[in-house]
Amino acid sequence: MAQGSVKPLDQGQSIEHAADECLLILLCRCFFQDTRRNKFGDVEYCKMHHLMHDLAQEVAGKQICIANSSPSNLDESV
Query: What pLDDT score was predicted for residue 39?
Result: 93
In our burial notation (b when 16+ CB lie closer than 10 A, e otherwise), range 13-39 reads eeeeebeeeebeeeeeeeebeeeeeee
- 15-74 pLDDT per residue, tens: 888 888 888 888 888 888 888 889 998 888 888 888 888 888 888 877 766 666 565 656
Determine the Cα–Cα distance for residues 68 and 62; give it in Å rounded to an integer: 16
The per-residue DSSP string of 13-36 comes to --HHHHHHHHHHHHHHTTSEEEEE
What is the pTM assigned to this prediction?
0.61
* pLDDT(5) > 80: no
Domains of the chain, by residue range, sit at: 15-68
Integer Rg of the chain from CA: 16
CA–CA gap between residue 41 and residue 48 (Å, rounded):
19
